[in-house]
Amino acid sequence: MRQKPVLSHDDVLAIAAATRGEAQRNGWAVSIALVDDGGHPLYLERLDGARANTVAVALGKARTSALLHAPSAGIASRVKDNPALLALDLMPLQGGLPLMCGEHCVGGLGVSGVQAHQDEQAGAAGTAVLERIWHAARGD
């Protein structure tokens, strides 16, 4: 039987707090979504001033990253070559990052509301926290 890491509620809150902190430091009104490895929502926050459509986009980016075990931006070129991939309800936009613990994808993080590279910058703050959590849990 295989064993794999799973996000705890505290892990999710820490990742979200780091992502929110990066967005707030930069004055970015964004929505933040975290999903589990199956793409199911674990956390959703819409910061003051974030447009209503950013919620669905953040969730889509997070889900895409979790299901593909890769940043959501990477799917854009694949969709261009094979538009049928959109039937899978993927979000081919930068700003979604997989939540990785070693070789295990434990979920996805999506940010939406500002320029795509800024969405990803905010998300990178969250993935950095997960990396620290993972190394601490392993005793690294």
Q: Which residues of 27-66 are buried (b: 16+ CB within 10 A; e: fewer)?
A: ebebbbbbbbbebeebbbbbeeebeeebbebbbbbbbbbb
Percent of the chain whose predicted confidence (pLDDT) is above 70: 100
Is the torsion defined by CA of 8, 4, 20, 57 positive or negative?
Answer: negative
Contact (Cβ atoms closer than 8 angstroms) between residue 109 and residue 33:
yes
Contact (Cβ atoms closer than 8 angstroms) between residue 59 and residue 35:
yes
Name the average pLDDT for the chain: 94
Structure confidence at residue 78 (pLDDT):
83
Are β-strands 41-46 and 104-112 bridged in parallel, bridged antiparallel, or unpaired?
unpaired
More confident residue, 87 or 27: 27
Contact (Cβ atoms closer than 8 angstroms) between residue 58 and residue 111:
yes
Which pLDDT tens digit goes with each residue over 47-96?
A: 999 999 999 999 999 999 999 999 999 887 788 888 888 788 888 899 99
* Residue 46 identity: R
Structure confidence at residue 22 (pLDDT):
98
DSSP 93: S
Helices (H) and strands (E) in the chain, counts: 4, 4
Fold (topology level) of 9-135: Beta-Lactamase (3.30.450)
Structure confidence at residue 55 (pLDDT):
98
Say if residue 34's pLDDT is above 90. Answer: yes
Model pTM score: 0.94
